[in-house]
Each structure stands twice: as C-alpha cells, then as structure tokens.
Amino acid sequence: MDNIAGKKSSLTWVLHLSVLALVLLWIFPTVGLLVSSFRTTDQIRSSGWWAALFPAVQNETLRSADPDESRVLRDDGLYMVSGNLYVVDGAVDTPEDVVAEISVWGTSSRNIDAYVPGDTADLGDGETMTVEANGDYVWIGNDAQISGRGQRVFVTAESPPEFTLQNYRNVLFDPDNREGMTRAFFNTLTVTIPATIIPILIAAFAAYALAWMEFPGRALLIAAIVALLVVPLQLALIPLLSLHNSIGIGKGYLGVWLAHTGFGLPLAIYLLRNYMVGLPRDIIECAKVDGATDFQIFTKIILPLSFPALASFAIFQFLWTWNDLLVAMVFLIDSSGETTVMTRQIVELLGTRGGDWEILATSAFVSIAVPLVVFFTMQRYLVRGLLAGSVK
C-alpha cells in the first residue's frame, strides 16, 4: 500500500531491521533463561549466558600426575611422567575426549603464557616439560626432580560452547531432591485439567440461552456478565475461603477447581455467547421447524459448530490456571506444602536459592515449557479468542 504511487519505499530495509530488532529484544529475555538452564553451575557463575554461545577462553591451573606413583625410569637414567593434563584433572576420561585447545601455557604463575603448545620448557638442571595443544604432556628429570607433587601447568585454553542436561536431570528426575519440580508439575496438572474442562459445559449452556432464547431480563444478564468480567478476583479471596472452610471443603483441590470455575465463567460465557450469536439463524430455525427441542439443537448443532470458540476459551483457561499463583496459594496450598504448584515452588526457590541460577532457570523453564507448546500449536485459536473477547 505504501508504494501504491509507483515508488518502492526506500525505507524497506530499515523496516525489516527495526522489526528484527524488536523481535530480538522481545525474545532475548526468554532465550537467556533457556540457555542458562543448559549450563553448569560453574559456567553460570563465571560468565554471562550470552558468553555460552561463543567459544570460551579460560585460564586454568592443571597438574601432572603424582610422580611417585606414575613415573617410569628411562634407559638414560632419567625419570619420566607422561599423560594428559585434562585426564589427570578429571575433566575428561580419555585424551580423545578433550575439547579444549590450549593456546599458550606456562609453568610459573608469573608467566602463564611463556610457551605455545609443542614447546619444551626448561625447568632448570635438565628438568624439562612438554605440553601439546590437547593437554598431552611429557615431564622428564632426575630422581629428585620427578618426586613430591605433580608439576603445575598454567594453561590458557579455548573451549567450544558446552551444554548439559544435568540441571534437568536434577530438577525433574532426582527422587532425592526435595526441591524438585516433579511433584509440583503433577499438582499443577491436577489443578489445571478439571479447572479447564468443567467451566466449558456450564458456560456453553448459559451462552446458548443468552444468545438464542428469548426471555425477560436477558439484556440485563448479559450486562451483568460484562461487568463481572472485570471484577477483581481479589475481592473473592476471603469471603470464599471462609465459605469453603465453613462447608468443609477447606483448602484443597476441590476448592481450587471450584474457584477457577467461578472465576473463568464470565469470560467463557462472554466468548461463547459472542460466537453463538454469529451462527446463522436459518439453521436453528430450520431445526425448530423440524421439531427439534432446544436441548437437541444445542447438543447436535450449536455445540459442534462452536468448536473454535470452545477451543479459544479452553486455551485461555488452561494458560490462566497453569500460570496462576494467587488462587492456588489461597485455595489450595496448605501448610504441609504437599499440594504446592509450580509457580509457588518457583517463588519459594527465588527466596531460598536466589543466586543458584541453574536451579531457578531450569525450574522456571519446566513450568513455562507446557504453556509455550500450547501457545505455538494453538495460536490460531488464541488469537481468535482474544479478538472476540475484548469488549468492542
């Protein structure tokens, strides 16, 4: 449209770049969390997550094997220790596994870049040390020199980006981990599924009545639904908690399901009514002429046709109940903590493990992974629901 007058806008590439910048800015925070969840504790502590995307240059102090145990006597009367610095360090099992590449090394802390790989360092009185790029070393000297502790080697090495699944193993599959997310994950699922399914049917019947049945007070009821859409659920906390306590539900799953059902209904009725009103009048009147009852019209015609709206609401309610913290804290989680949900667990971890980003990032990602999958697979319905649900 902008180039309708025959000239292609010269700003096109600026447009593309600014969109790219905006998108990068928006996904940057989430990418940070995702990358962090795949890094080891040491990596997270020693550098920012953005450094993980590039080869890391690290200064390390390594040590050769204990000479008293592993030295061998050579034909020329000198002793020799050989092996791989990284294997001795325990970083890898065999020299073939070494991924780091040593760029410079030294044997004194004051001169850590004295030699390049392949050089032979003269340690005085005929004692020598040779280090290769992959950490293989040969250390030669006389009986007195090759004894005591292993020779220290200061290396500067470049290692390629490295990621680990260990954090996920700890957070999800370690049965001994009291702070693990497995239980909270299943608790969240237990809250979410009934809280998503139950309101749909109740709302669908009401929406049908409000859309296609004539009765006095209908307009007033619709206005009331629109009003209830914005009533802050904060108002409901204490009255409903007292109510639950007095009728014996107390804190628990039943209470949280009922609460989510109640809080989700205005949006559900509103969305579904708006959709059902738009269905063609002919179909319904034809069915009535053919003798169908309202109940039959609803179950056989309206419900199947309303599938897109039902899906929209289901996604909304799913995201909302999955991500909810307040309702779960008030109506579900008791002092035993057995029924904690993921959001609550993460808030607790923020308090107790504030600096341990490998745990925090992994736990947070476990909790946002499911909504993200739902989001990307069902985005169409979500957008449609948003467009129908905003009061125009």
Which positions from 310 through 349 interact with other proteins, judged by CB under 8 A?
319, 322-326, 329-330, 339, 343, 346-347
- Smallest distance, other proteins to C-beta of residue 180, A: 17
Residue 112: DSSP 8-state: T
Q: Does 150 bind other proteins (CB under 8 A)?
A: no
- CA distance linking residue 133 with residue 176, whole number of Å: 41
Asked if 285 interacts with other proteins (CB under 8 A), we say no
Closest CB 43 distance from other proteins, rounded Å = 10
Q: Which helix (H) or strand (E) holds 250?
A: none
Residues of the chain by 3-state class (helix, strand, coil), percent to 5: 60, 10, 30
What DSSP character marks residue 378? S
CB 366 within 8 A of CB 172: yes
109 or 234: whose CB is closer to other proteins? Answer: 234
Which segments of 98-196 are extended strands (E)? 101-106, 120-122, 128-131, 136-141, 152-159
234 binds other proteins (CB under 8 A): yes
Whether the CB-CB separation of 270 and 229 falls below 8 Å is answered with yes
Rounded Cα distance, 200 and 268, in Å: 7
- Residue 312, token pair as written in the block: 């929209």
Name which of 111 and 379 has its Cβ closer to other proteins: 379
Q: Which is nearer to other proteins, 144 or 277 (CB)?
A: 277
CB of 84 to other proteins, least distance (A): 28
Decide whether 116 or 238 has the Cβ nearer to other proteins: 238
Give the interface segment with other proteins, choosing from 62-70, 95-103, 151-159, 376-384 (CB under 8 A).
376-384
The reply to whether 309 sits near other proteins by the rule CB under 8 A is: no
For other proteins, the binding residue among 77, 90, 124, 239 (CB under 8 A) is 239
Q: What sign does the CA torsion over 11, 12, 13, 14 have?
A: positive
Among 88, 266, 297, 309, binds other proteins (CB under 8 A): 266
Cβ 337 to other proteins, closest distance in Å? 14
Q: Write down the least CB distance from residue 125 to other proteins, Å.
A: 39
The interface with other proteins within residues 20-59 (CB under 8 A) comprises 20, 22-23, 26-30, 32-33, 36, 44-50
**Site residue total, other proteins (CB under 8 A):** 117
Residue of 148, 101, 151 lying closest to 128 (CA atoms): 151
Q: Are 67 and 147 in contact (CB under 8 A)?
A: yes
Q: Residue 199 corresponds to which amino acid? A: P
Q: Is 232 in the site for other proteins (CB under 8 A)?
A: yes
- Cβ neighbour number for residue 56 with a 10 Å cutoff: 17
Q: Is 383 in the site for other proteins (CB under 8 A)?
A: yes
Among the candidate windows 12-20, 72-80, 149-157, 158-166, which touches other proteins by CB under 8 A? 12-20
- DSSP letters for 183-240: HHHHHHHHHHHHHHHHHHHHHHHHHHHHHH---TTHHHHHHHHHHHHHS-GGGGHHHH
CB 150 within 8 A of CB 66: yes
Helical residues (DSSP H) of 11-80, grouped into ranges: 12-37, 41-46, 67-70
> Which of 56, 133, 254, 311: binder of other proteins (CB under 8 A)?
254
Q: Map residues 172-201 to x or -, x wherever contact with other proteins holds by CB under 8 A.
A: --------------xx--x--xx--xx--x
Does the footprint of other proteins cover residue 144 (CB under 8 A)? Answer: no
Contact status, residue 142 vs residue 79, Cβ threshold 8 Å: yes
Minimum Å distance from CB 323 to other proteins? 3
Contact status: 303 vs other proteins (CB under 8 A): no
The stretch near other proteins (CB under 8 A) out of 14-22, 70-78, 109-117, 120-128 is 14-22
The phi and psi torsions of 74 (rounded to 5 degrees) equal -95, 170
CA within 13 Å, CB half, 137: 31
209 counts as binding other proteins under rule CB under 8 A: yes
Query: CB-wise, 128 or 299, nearer to other proteins?
Result: 299
By CB under 8 A, the residues from 92 to 121 that bind other proteins are none
